[in-house]
Structure formats: C-alpha cells, structure tokens
Amino acid sequence: MINKNLQIILKSRPKASISKQNFSLHQSEMPLPQAGEVLLKTLYLSLDPYMRGRMYGATSYAAPVKLGNVMIGETISEVIQSNNANFAVGQLVSSPHGWQQYAISDGNDLVALPKYDVSPSAYLGILGLTGLTGYGALIRHGQPKAGETLVVSAANGGVGSIVAQTGRNLGCNVIGITGGEKKCKILETELNIKALDYKDSNFSTNLKKLTPKGIDIFFDNVGGDIAFEALNNMAVHGRFLVCGTISFDRNAPQDKSHDRFPNAFAQLLIKRLKVQGFIFDELIDMKEEYHQQAIKWLKDEKITFREHIVEGLDNAPEAFMSLFRGQNIGKLIVKV
C-alpha cells in the first residue's frame, strides 16, 4: 500500500546560479481523488532549460514557481484511479503536474496520448513540445528552402536535433554547432550533417569556412558568443531565429564590460535580417501537421532521436543542472 508521495520542492531562489540547495525532497501524504478527479502516477518527467527561469522571482513570459511549491514540469502519467468518465484506469496522458510521483487532476489539464507506435517518453521529446518547437519554428519562421544554409546551435539537444534533421530532409545545407569532438561525431554519423565545435579555439574561422555564402537561417538555442559569431556571418535577407539563450542565465548578474549591441544592430541593418523570437505555445496549431510528418519520417528512417534518460525522481535536480553543462545528448527525461 503506497501512502506517501515523493515531491521535489523549490526550497529557495538561486542567488547567482542554480544549485542543488535550491531544491528539497519532500514526502507528502498520498493525494486522494474526489468526485470527477483522477489519480495520476508519473512515469516520465521532462527536464527543460526554461525551468531555470521559473526558479527566480521575476516574471518573464510566465509566472515563477512559488517557494515551497512542487517544481513545474510536463510529465507522462498513468491514470491509476478514476472518478472521471473521460479517463479510464491505465490510460496514459500528458500532464503539467511537475516533479512528483503522484498527482490529482480533474482532467481539464490532461491530454490523452495519441496511439503511435513509440515509447511513451517520446511524447516529451520528438513528439512533444520539444520536437514541435524545432519543427514548427523552423518551418513557420525560418521558411527553409532547398539549397539554403541552415546553422543550428545546441544541435545535439532535444530541439536542435529536430531542427537539424528537418532542415536536412528539406534539402538545406545543415551545420550543427555543439561542444566537443564526441558530440561532433554524433552529428556527422547519426544526423548526417556537418558539425562545428564551439569549444575549438578556431570556431570563428571554421564557421566562416563552412558558410562561404553566409547563413540563410540561424536557429539559436544558445545565445551569447555563439549567436554573435553567427550574426556576423548572416547572408543578406537571412532569418535569425531566437529559440533559447541557455548559455547565459538571464536572471544572474551579467558581465557588461563588452557591449556588443552596436555591432549587432549594424548587422541587422546591413544584412536586412529578420529576427524572430517565439514561444512554443504559439506553434500548437502545427501539432497535427508535425505529428504526421514526424511519424512518416520515423517510418522511412529519415529522422532519429536520442533520449537521455535518468532513473529516479530524487536524481532530477542533479540531472537538471547537467543541461547547463552540456552533459545530455538528446532530450533529457527522468524515469520516475
């Protein structure tokens, strides 16, 4: 008889950067579903870079997690008790109930998983918001055409690997940026694209060499120095897509000693660039199209995906921090 629910709570807000001390493990009483409610058992928890921003007190495009609350996050969960006619026991759903083993829902925030022939965890990665963000933003905002040069940063990651393979399947000349030789090899052998190591001291020169006609589309997951190097190599009428800025913590104190804005704005003008930021929920209308396309590509072996699965909810804080050290290859998921 299970009578405790293991949860991971936001204990304190980060001072400079996040640390394990910001989280605490908590055993709460097992929740009981009331009329109309279901009891969910978490199977898989998605760990995503945006969660770092929610640990600070400031509101950006979403409200922060309150101190003492369970860390937010998307899960794949199983209905294990049901008082709701829409959800049968055994049904798998995606749920927003965060870093905990069990949760109660009235069903309004649950989405039943489609029945594609993939593992349930795939609905957090390739068939989840991660994959949709990569595909949807590239198609809608990047408008890729065969023969164009597409450069994507964090190309081995959940979003980046989908962007890279989508571009490749559409006939673009794709260059993936990643950290270190091992990760470069994976881009070349598994994703079949060109690779560029940003940790190599010749990164800037190598980027120029690989993009002699300039970059038509830069899909940026990283920000900082890598983004500025790309900006300086854009082609005329290029599209510069700002997906994420994982290389710096927007809430932590910034080094303002080197102001790169004047040059950045000059590049926007000189190259007549389009810069587009986006948030995944504005791409939801493309979910069905993306699922059809991704399933077809999976069947035809035209797309592949890696999941970096960590076992055990208590390992979630350490696993989460590893994202910012580049220790994951593929979509980071906790098997709860």
Ligand X SMILES: NC(=O)c1ccc[n+]([C@@H]2O[C@H](COP(=O)([O-])OP(=O)(O)OC[C@H]3O[C@@H](n4cnc5c(N)ncnc54)[C@H](OP(=O)(O)O)[C@@H]3O)[C@@H](O)[C@H]2O)c1
Residues that bind ligand X (CB under 6 A): 48-50, 130, 133, 154, 156-160, 178-179, 183, 221-222, 226, 243-247, 278-280, 323-324, 326, 328, 332
In the bound complex, what is the minimum distance in angstroms from residue 229's beta carbon to ligand X? 12
Give kind and range of the element (H or E) at residue 54.
helix 50-55
Residue (246 or 273) nearer to ligand X, CB: 246
In the bound complex, what is the minimum distance in angstroms from residue 240's beta carbon to ligand X? 14
Residue (141 or 271) nearer to ligand X, CB: 141
Residues found in the chain: 336
Amino acid sitting at position 180: G
Q: DSSP label at 51? A: H
Residue (50 or 56) nearer to ligand X, CB: 50
Residue (10 or 187) nearer to ligand X, CB: 187
Query: Which residue from 241, 180, 189 is spatially nearest to 215, judged by alpha carbons?
Result: 241
In the bound complex, what is the minimum distance in angstroms from residue 250's beta carbon to ligand X? 10
Residue (43 or 177) nearer to ligand X, CB: 177
Residue (20 or 299) nearer to ligand X, CB: 20
Distance of CA 135 to the CA centre of its chain: 12
Give kind and range of the element (H or E) at residue 131.
helix 129-137
Kindly provide the residue ranges of all beta strands, DSSP E only, lying in the chain, ordered along the sequence: 4-10, 23-29, 38-46, 75-82, 92-95, 102-105, 111-112, 149-152, 173-178, 194-197, 215-220, 234-242, 274-277, 307-311, 331-335
In the bound complex, what is the minimum distance in angstroms from residue 153's beta carbon to ligand X? 7
Residue (134 or 238) nearer to ligand X, CB: 134
Q: Is 224 exposed, middle or buried (0-12, 13-18, 19+ CB in 10 A)?
A: middle
Secondary structure of residue 177 in the 3-state scheme: strand
In the bound complex, what is the minimum distance in angstroms from residue 296's beta carbon to ligand X? 22
In the bound complex, what is the minimum distance in angstroms from residue 154's beta carbon to ligand X? 4
- Which residue reads 């560029």 in tokens? 196
Residue 201: what are its φ and ψ, rounded to 5°?
-65, -20
In the bound complex, what is the minimum distance in angstroms from residue 2's beta carbon to ligand X? 31
